[in-house]
Amino acid sequence: MTDYGHQLEFGIFPSPDAQRAQQTIELAQLADVSGLDLVSVQDHPYQAKHLDTWTLLSVIAAQTSAVRVAPNVANLPLRPPVVLAHSVATLDRLSSGRAELGLGTGAFWDAIVAAGGRRLTPKESVDALVEAIGVIRGVWGGGTVSVTGEHYHVKGLHAGPPPVHDVGIWLGAYKPRMLRVTGRLADGWIPSMGYADPSALAAMNAVIDDAALAAGRGPEAIRRMYNIFGRFGSGGGLLQGSPRDWSEQLAALALDEGISTFILGTDDPTDVRRFADEVAPAVRDLVERERALLAGAAAGKGTSEPAPGDGRGGADHGAGPTSVLETGRRRAAEARGEVPLSVTPTPDDGTRLSVELPWDESSRPVAAKPDDAAYTREQQAHPQHLVDIHDALRDELAQVRGVVEQVRQGHLTVGAARSVVNTMTMRQNDWTLGAYCQSYCRIVTGHHTLEDRSVFRHLRRADPAITDVIDRLEEEHHVIADVLEQVDRALVGLVEAPGYGSDGAARLEELQRSIDLLTDTLLSHLAYEERELLHPLARYGLN
């Protein structure tokens, strides 16, 4: 669960269709009187069928009194940042602090070029956005603005006028680099269903959180927003049922994925009314109750006795808010094609070849496993990838052991082992037993280094509850590295005495002991890692 604790907000995302301009304004007025928080409009200046976004937002702000207005999101390649900052600040002042700024890098480059913009590569577009944020905040901040960048050059500009409230910059971001920019610089993240479906939110949130922490910010500094689309009816599926279904599913997204602003894409006034009158209050109620239950449990107060008038056990919510949310989570998971985790950890049969292991297996931390977690096929590919890598390591280890055994039994000399090793999947130019074993050790070490530097760091930040497990896995990596050093030393000794005299036999015994210890530690470690990390990998991905 990832709940950043933000107050919930709800808004709409109507089409800026030039043929129905008055209906769009009336829809915004309906949102205003219905108690919604936000009206946002897409920005495609090259689209002949669309009204200009800033002009439309200005009219909406003039004909409403409470809703905030924002582009969703402003097309930066066609809106110079100094002019954009001035437009936002002006609208904020004229609307008594009701303007916000959704910002994007641009996407439809042929159309942007046709409208006079410059075509940028993905890297250039992100670089330009980072520079633009500096310019915009400089214009709002007062004093003199000087930004010397590759894409924007502002020197000695007198800033102002400032907005009358702290305008939020919300980024439409999907790719890893833009997500990292969001965590480092933005006030909000505003993806859309269809481009970032609910099953992808956890991994994307984790990238934002990592970047926020690296920048010295808390993950809660970034509001998580979501453009949603659905249909009220009697059918199942995500946002395809009754207002109650919607409220349960959105409450689950708030508590599980940290979404605190839901923006409904619709041009239907009936849907706006139902969203404002039935869905939004129910979502707020469910989330507030669940947060209170969790806070009470954390404080040791318990939750067995419902508070007066909290509705637990009433007709509207059955067994209470927690069970309602679980129903919402289950229905949302089914709609997203999620099923229980089908990837299974490789069992450890407990067989050990060595007299003593270099660690105490009984002292390993164990993380709680979710009983009802469900994941999409794409999410389940991450833990399956880990198991596949481990299976390759286990297969190669078995082959190393087989070759060593044949040499020990006299069926193969070290030199003759090359014909056996040549059929193995791990091939080296020097087909000797020693070279093969050494290459295997390098692959194991490389796999563990990758986990330590990338995957483990990502999982530690995404899920603090498994920190103890990650710490133990990293400790075991160091132990296995020491065991691999023992294998290397035994191989050096074997090369120095390759014959079958007493000295050679003793060195073969030493090699066998080190291979047995590697077998025990590695197989035990891989099984433990799979038991503990399959669910976190499914939820948060590999990076």
Which H/E stretch holds residue 418?
helix 418-421
pLDDT of residue 7: 97
The span from the CA of 228 to the CA of 521, in Å, is 49
| For range 243-268, the mean pLDDT | 95
Say if CB 36 and CB 10 are below 8 A apart. yes
Residues paired with residue 71 on neighbouring β-strands, in sequence order: 41
Report whether pLDDT(432) > 60. Answer: no
| For range 401-422, the mean pLDDT | 66
Helix axes 198-214, 176-185, angle to 10 degrees: 50
- Prior bond to 73 cis, omega within 30? yes
The span from the CA of 438 to the CA of 430, in Å, is 11
Dump pLDDT digits (tens) for 313-329: 333 444 566 667 777 77
Dump pLDDT digits (tens) for 205-229: 999 999 999 999 999 999 999 999 9
Say if CB 400 and CB 439 are below 8 A apart. no
pLDDT of residue 311: 36
Report whether pLDDT(340) > 50. Answer: yes
- The CA-atom distances, in angstroms, between 27 and each of 62, 101, 266 are 14, 20, 9
The span from the CA of 103 to the CA of 119, in Å, is 18
The span from the CA of 340 to the CA of 537, in Å, is 14
Dump pLDDT digits (tens) for 60-86: 999 999 999 999 999 999 999 999 999
Within a 13 Å sphere around the CA of 337, how many CA atoms are in the beta-carbon half?
8
Dump pLDDT digits (tens) for 279-315: 999 999 999 999 998 888 777 754 444 443 343 333 3
pLDDT band at 426 (very low <50, low <70, confident <90, very high): very low
Share of the chain above pLDDT 70, in %: 89
Say if CB 174 and CB 201 are below 8 A apart. no
The CATH label, of 3.50.50.100, 2.40.10.170, 1.20.1060.10, 1.20.120.520, for the domain at 361-540 is 1.20.120.520
Number of Cβ within a 10 Å radius of residue 307: 12
The span from the CA of 300 to the CA of 318, in Å, is 25
pLDDT of residue 20: 96
DSSP string, 53-96: HHHHHHHHHHT-SS-EEEESSEEGGGS-HHHHHHHHHHHHHHTT
Q: Average pLDDT, whole number, for the chain? A: 87
**Token pair listed for 15:** 């089409």
Fold classification of 9-233+258-267 is: TIM Barrel (3.20.20)
The span from the CA of 332 to the CA of 271, in Å, is 20
Q: In a 10 Å sphere around its CB, with 0-12 CB exposed, 13-18 middle and 19+ buried, how is residue 355 labelled?
A: exposed
pLDDT of residue 435: 64
pLDDT band at 107 (very low <50, low <70, confident <90, very high): confident
- Residue 188, classed as helix, strand or coil, is strand
The span from the CA of 402 to the CA of 199, in Å, is 44
- Measured in degrees and rounded to the nearest 5, phi and psi for residue 374 equal -135, 150
Dump pLDDT digits (tens) for 445-497: 778 887 887 888 889 888 888 999 999 999 999 999 999 888 878 777 766 65
Boundaries of every domain in the chain: 9-233+258-267, 361-540
**pTM of the prediction?**
0.71
Number of Cβ within a 10 Å radius of residue 283: 25
DSSP string, 197-242: -HHHHHHHHHHHHHHHHHTT--GGGSEEEEEE----SS--STT-S-
Dump pLDDT digits (tens) for 509-527: 888 899 899 999 999 999 9
- Measured in degrees and rounded to the nearest 5, phi and psi for residue 240 equal -125, 5
Report whether pLDDT(137) > 90. Answer: yes
pLDDT of residue 400: 80
